[in-house]
Amino acid sequence: MALLAPSPRALCVREAAAAAPHPHSSVGAACSTVGGGAAGRTLWLWNGGGTGRRRRERRERVRAEAYFWDVSKPVEMEEIDSMEKLDDALRWSVENNQPVIIDWMASWCRKCIYLMPRMEKIAGEYPGVRFYFIDVNKVPQAVVKRGNVTKMPTIQLWKDGEWKAEVIGGHKAWLVMDEVREMIQQNK
């Protein structure tokens, strides 16, 4: 068996045509999946071009066992709209010795709006970490100054009541998300 696409999201295994009796056969139960249940399912693909039935029978089949270990469910981020709520979030971080992620955003910032559901997805991946967002146009300027924020979006990690790291999200969303995950892992 040769790995065609080794990655955390999908694993494709090349097999001979005799591996399964029919391309639509249900062999998904034999697959072990991360997250269990129907998270992963076996897909049958045909290797080679053409569309005719005779051509399909002569070609080699590729069985793709897709492991979508996306078991996290998005978690809605809490809004911080005052200095008191910011203090409460930072106090929680100190009391529980857990990091807090604060997404500083603006309602007019397209990148901020685009990143919001992705941040909620990451929040589902880290159940011990609390995620908040602050709309800089809705809070007093003192709150923005306390975060020392000058660009949007800025994603900060606070732990023990102190600023530890930040990602300024002016580049591609997947890079921002990778940097946020790395930031959380380093400060957990």
What residues are annotated to the active site? 109, 112
Number of other residues whose CB lies within 10 A of the CB of residue 135: 18
Calculate the alpha carbon distances from 187 to 8, 17, 23, 99, 177 in Å: 23, 49, 47, 7, 16
Beta-strand ranges (E) seen in 6-161 are: 11-14, 40-46, 61-67, 78-79, 100-105, 130-135, 154-159
